Chains A and B, each alone.
Chain A
């Protein structure tokens, strides 16, 4: 079983829809949670960074963390065709190397 599970999609939605992307994880030591957006053939870019449980909002993006359920979500409001990309969740904990553990990514397509 992978440490981080993420539905690969593809997820296709019409422009303006609310998108929900999710990851589950098994390692209770994870405390720092990130969402990266990756366009085709490009490096990932950081979208959201959260610590522990709770919500964080940044413009059209909201990140939620539920540590009791080991479940994190990214919501995109008023989705745009430019949001079409692969979304990767990533997380880390208080281990020596502090390297990120990634989900496999969800491919999102927003149809105009």
Chain B
């Protein structure tokens, strides 16, 4: 089955640690996105990638980093510079960045700072 897989489902981070969230897709989509979801605030765009080896900052990129070395993979690192990282993180993909088509989402990773 084609889809987007995010792992882990739950992640706990200690203060000052970097953590990496995994996102893998087998849909052969060019574009991939990371969103953050907080209660009552909807989804906010962190980073996006339109093609392999290219990525752009979204609206709330501070404290996050990404890479896009392979078409199917778009990992997100939450660094110690992110002051309020506790949230639900969603990865999405779209067939082509320049097409106004729907985005498909993974099942999310819930990150909690302990």
Give the B-binding residues of A (Cβ under 8 A): 4, 6, 8, 31-32, 34, 36, 41-46, 49, 51, 88, 90, 92-94, 97-100, 102-105
Contact = CB atoms under 8 A, between A and B. Distances in A.
Interface stretch (B64-72, B75-83, B100-108): B100-108
A34 B32 CA distance: 18
Q: Tell me what chain B mostly uses at the interface: helix, strand, loop, or mixed.
A: strand
B94 A8 contact: no
B102 A49 contact: yes
Which 3 pairs of residues, A with B, have the shortest CB-CB distance? A43-B105, A104-B42, A102-B43
Interface size class of B (residues with CB under 8 A): 20 to 34
Given A41-B110, A43-B90, A99-B33, A88 B42 contact: yes
Contact of A98 (B58, B100, B104): B100
Contact of A44 (B41, B98, B99, B105): B105
Contacts of A51: 100
